[in-house]
Amino acid sequence: MNKTVEVLPDQSALVKRALDLILSKIDTAIQERGRFTIALSGGSTPKPLYEAIANQKLPWDKIHVFWGDERYVPPDHPDSNELMARRAWLDRVDLPETNIHPIPTLEADPAVAAVKYERHLHNFFNSASGEFPALDVVLLGMGDDAHTASLFPHTEALKVSDRLITVGNKDSSIRITFTYPFINSARSVIFVVAGANKRPALAQVFAPVADDFTYPSRLIKPQGELWWLLDAAAGAELPS
């Protein structure tokens, strides 16, 4: 694992750095493999980043967008990560609809939706059950409880290591999420974290010893690149 931690002076510098890093990953992926694959995170932090990506001139037909997690709500629900990304980015560019791979959230049983998404991923990457295909980038946020994607502290989703996709939960609200081994199969995992409220969780995630199930972002140890992009409010107290 090749880990890089960068603390940027403020949120706009954080967004600019994340944009530049993602643009470089897009160039490399398209040069090397003819396409770029990214899994998006939800929440509030990435919205300005998605808006900034939408302002770029990019080979949209070579870019494929997935989601690393999703709230189990219809795609037109205000809490939907898909809706946020479409409004901030995808609806504003000529990215073909066939390049947008949302997590299904209309099945009565979320477990069926998880299996469907996993099957879709295996078909897209031409991988077999039991294999963990590598996306070019998995973009992650981190909650103030050190959760990432929808891998929340002390939940069953943290124990799933033989699937790509599983059902998660934040208290009683159901989520669909990448498993931590699938996140770790990415070529690059990029955390974008802002705000002083994230400091205590970051201290635990970066501590030499702490419980992974209490601080799930500690489980993210990709064999590829691990980037932590933080604003000063979040990263000020981290040991350099």
Ligand X SMILES: O=C(O)[C@H](O)[C@@H](O)[C@H](O)[C@H](O)COP(=O)(O)O
Is 102 a binder of ligand X (CB under 6 A)?
A: no
Helices (H), the chain: 11-33, 47-54, 81-88, 110-125, 180-184, 199-205, 232-235
Q: Which is nearer to ligand X, 58 or 141 (CB)?
A: 141
Q: Examine residue 45 and tell whether it contacts ligand X (CB under 6 A).
A: yes
Please report how the helices 11-33 and 47-54 are oriented relative to each other, as an axis angle in degrees rounded to 10.
50
Region of 171 on the Ramachandran plot (φ > 0 left; ψ -120 to 50 alpha; else beta): left
Three-class DSSP labels, 40-51: ECCCCCCHHHHH
- Binding residue for ligand X, selected from 16, 30, 43, 224, defined by CB under 6 A: 43
**Interface segment toward ligand X; rule CB under 6 A; list 49-57, 93-101, 135-143, 203-211:** 135-143
Kindly state the number of chain residues that form the binding site for ligand X, as judged by CB under 6 A.
Answer: 14
Judged by CB under 6 A, the stretch of 4-12, 27-35, 101-109, 137-145 that binds ligand X is 137-145
Among 44, 161, 173, 214, which residue sits at the site for ligand X (rule: CB under 6 A)? Answer: 44
Stretches 6-14, 38-46, 94-102, 207-215: which one binds ligand X (CB under 6 A)? 38-46
State phi, psi for 27 to the nearest 5 degrees. -60, -50
Which of these, 150, 157, 158, 159, lies nearest to 71 by C-alpha position?
Answer: 150
Residues 211 and 226: their CA atoms lie apart, in Å, by 20
List the one residue from 48, 110, 143, 235 that touches ligand X (CB under 6 A): 143
Q: Indicate whether 37 belongs to the interface with ligand X (CB under 6 A).
A: no
For tokens 């560019």, the residue is: 93
Residue number with CB closer to ligand X (58 or 177)? 177
Binding site for ligand X (CB under 6 A): 41-45, 69, 81, 141-143, 147-150
